[in-house]
Amino acid sequence: MASHFPDPSSFPSMPLSYMIILFILLNVISSVHTFDYFSSCANQFSCGDLRNVGFPFWGDGRPEGCGYPDLYLKCTGNLTYITIKNISYLVKEVHPEKNTLKIARAEYSKGLCPSQFLNTNTDVIDHNLFDYLSGYQNLTLFYGCNVGFPWKILGLFDCPVNGVADTHAYPLLGAWVPIGGFCKYSVVVPVPSTFTVADLANLQAIGEAVKDGFEVKWTVGAKECNECLQSGGVCGYVYDLNKPTCYCKGSDSGSRVCDADAKAPQGYPRNIPRSHCPFYFLEEPWSLQ
């Protein structure tokens, strides 16, 4: 019976043998296959009506390493989605020349009563990546509110919440969290700044504004990417180092900009000497702003 079990004295050597096999495997893989980021990241993202979106985004044909980790575009049924602060947005327009996106909360595409409520931060965008464009203001949609308000509420509507008895909902200008126990949830969405308090009674207009979405400007990578493109490179991102990079033709790694020779159309694929297109980690770190 005891012979069915391995000799306990052999256990300590097992992790080491796994490590050796892994080490050999990794060496074989890296020597045989170097990923061609220059070609892969030259691919543009296209989905439905959105065409030719490149850096700083990645997704669907643009692998990781072609854009900032949080700027992932997902194509589903010809519609493009992006997740910002854990909220899914439909990407309606992309304007690379202005570095702007027009986005709308995905769960509001069919009205003001989504199937699930996600409380939001009062500030909905990630300021490491985006800025608001002017022309928008915050609107808060409260849900799961109880009926006993002592005052008249503009735009009160009914919206059932799973497992919550109170079904009242209402809009309010500004960015708010549920206060005083009147409501269970609040969702903050930017709407055009032309909206007035009187418009809060017009639920159809609110629904359309929320569905139409709002514009944001992405603030990362533009300067570095222009330098890279002008040097004949393709922009990308090094996850391990958390910074953008420039992939050069025929080079197996990124750098800040490419050697001028890399622009030459002939001789692809060619090996650019590393001294001409140095590894990114030999470059002095360059800041994002």
If the CB atoms of residues 37 and 214 are measured against ligand NAG, the closer one turns out to be: 214
If the CB atoms of residues 65 and 190 are measured against ligand NAG, the closer one turns out to be: 190
Kindly tell me the number of DSSP H helices and DSSP E strands found in the chain: 4, 15
Segment 146 to 205, residues that bind ligand NAG, using CB under 6 A: 175, 190
3-state helix, strand, coil in the chain (%, to 5): 20, 30, 50
**Contact between 190 and 139 (Cβ < 8 Å):** yes
The total of other beta-carbon atoms located within 10 Å of residue 37's CB is 23
Q: Which of 78, 115, 266, 275 binds ligand NAG (CB under 6 A)?
A: 78
| Closest separation in Å from C-beta 254 to ligand NAG | 31
Should residue 122 be labelled a site residue for ligand NAG when binding is judged by CB under 6 A? yes
Should residue 136 be labelled a site residue for ligand NAG when binding is judged by CB under 6 A? yes
| Closest separation in Å from C-beta 132 to ligand NAG | 4
Q: How many residues bind ligand NAG (CB under 6 A)?
A: 11
How far is residue 236's CA from residue 38's CA, in Å, rounded to a whole number?
Answer: 9
27-35, 97-105, 134-142, 232-240 -> range binding ligand NAG (CB under 6 A): 134-142
Q: How deeply is 148 buried, as exposed, middle or buried, from its count of CB atoms within 10 A (0-12, 13-18, 19+)? A: exposed
The total of other beta-carbon atoms located within 10 Å of residue 184's CB is 17
- Polymer length in residues for the chain: 289
Binding site for ligand NAG (CB under 6 A): 77-78, 86, 122-123, 132, 136-138, 175, 190
